Amino acid sequence: MEHENAVGVYLRDKASKEPVSVDRRVQLAIEAKAGNQKARDELVYSLGGLIIEWTKKYYWKYRDIEKIDPAGWSFDDVYMMVVEGVLQGIDRFDETREGAALVACCLTWANGVVMMQVNRRVSEKAGSSVMSVVDVRKLRRIRWDFERRENRVPNKEELRRSSELAKWEKVRFERAYRNSEAGLFAEVPMDAPLEEGGANEGLRLLDRSVDVERDIIRKDAEEKLRSCVGKFRARIKQVEAHILDKNIFTDEPMTLAKVGEAVGVSRQRVHQIRGEVINKLELHFRSAGVVPEDFLTD
């Protein structure tokens, strides 16, 4: 199989193919590890939909790297990184390990390969490793929070200060992604708690209790939701934006009375404006081709 053409092949032929069962994928992985190239190609093809979704996820998640390395971050580049990680995951998949899952293993290694490349490219273009992969991951969120708080675009130094990254965290990421195996399965204690985003992320993904594909969908949905709401927020009035931030789009909503005190209007008026904001927000979602229920349902 020519992996650089796999996206087009998959999209063209997927309708004529029967879905591949989990047991069949595991059997293909065993055969691929034994040197069967045909089984390896069939397995990669069967994962084509997930590979495309993972590529889209990483491409948009780290798109800010284009500001540093615009020539080296195309969709095809990211796709090949993901395929490389999937192939590494197939080679290292252990079907006898308790709690192991092939898709989770492939995703773990794809994540490692992509993040290695992000860190390497950022370090090379910046001339140092000061701006680590963590900065890239948080850049958009930090920028959005800064613009909302200060009502202006932050400069580079303000972005760096706002990140508030501890020195140990930078060192940990530098060490974790120095080579293809560090930070994934190497020297990770088996009894370590399965925490998202930690050094034991690989083990967390290998736990059967973690629905990896649903977790990816949920995180992508949250990013799309925040982006959509951010664009909407930029178009509404200041009072409406305050109500959106403090009462609607928040995990800890303030009471309407307290919101009214903060903006200098009555509770009844806040209630009226809140209804108008919700209606406008729903129209904004619809015009953007987004169904709010898709994002807000657990």
- What is the chain's pLDDT, residue by residue, as a tens digit (298 residues)? 444 444 455 445 544 456 677 778 888 888 888 888 888 888 888 887 788 888 887 777 776 655 555 555 677 788 888 888 888 888 877 765 544 577 777 888 888 888 777 767 665 654 444 344 444 445 556 666 666 677 777 666 665 655 544 333 444 444 444 433 333 333 333 333 434 444 444 434 434 344 444 555 566 666 777 777 888 888 888 888 888 888 887 777 888 888 888 888 888 888 889 888 888 888 887 777 665 544 443 3
pLDDT of residue 207: 40
Q: Are the C-beta atoms of residues 108 and 32 closer than 8 Å to each other? A: no
Q: Are the C-beta atoms of residues 266 and 256 closer than 8 Å to each other? A: no
pLDDT of residue 160: 60
pTM across the whole model: 0.40
117: alpha, beta or left, given left = phi > 0 and alpha = psi -120 to 50?
alpha
pLDDT of residue 183: 38
Distance of CA 81 to the CA centre of its chain: 15
Q: Are the C-beta atoms of residues 112 and 180 closer than 8 Å to each other? A: yes
With vertex at residue 58, the alpha carbon angle to CA 90 and CA 214, rounded to the nearest 5 degrees, is: 70
The rounded distance, in Å, linking the Cα atoms of 24 and 45 is 13
pLDDT of residue 26: 82
pLDDT of residue 80: 85
The rounded distance, in Å, linking the Cα atoms of 72 and 120 is 12
Report which of 144, 160, 161 is spatially closest to residue 152, judged by C-alpha positions.
Answer: 144
Q: How far is CA 155 from CA 7, 136, 143, 162, in A?
A: 38, 15, 9, 11
Domain ranges within the chain, ordered by starting residue: 3-134+165-210, 223-296
The rounded distance, in Å, linking the Cα atoms of 221 and 86 is 23
Report which of 41, 22, 31, 197 is spatially closest to residue 108, judged by C-alpha positions.
Answer: 197
pLDDT of residue 141: 61
Q: Are the C-beta atoms of residues 57 and 79 closer than 8 Å to each other? A: no
At the top level of CATH, which class does the domain 223-296 belong to?
A: mainly alpha
The rounded distance, in Å, linking the Cα atoms of 212 and 242 is 35
pLDDT of residue 216: 56
Burial class of 131 by CB neighbour count within 10 A (0 to 12, 13 to 18, 19+)? buried
pLDDT of residue 214: 54
At 69 the three-state DSSP class reads coil
**DSSP secondary structure letter of residue 186:** T
154: alpha, beta or left, given left = phi > 0 and alpha = psi -120 to 50?
beta
Q: What is the DSSP string of 94-132?
A: -TTSTT--HHHHHHHHHHHHHHHHHHHHHHHHHTSSSS-
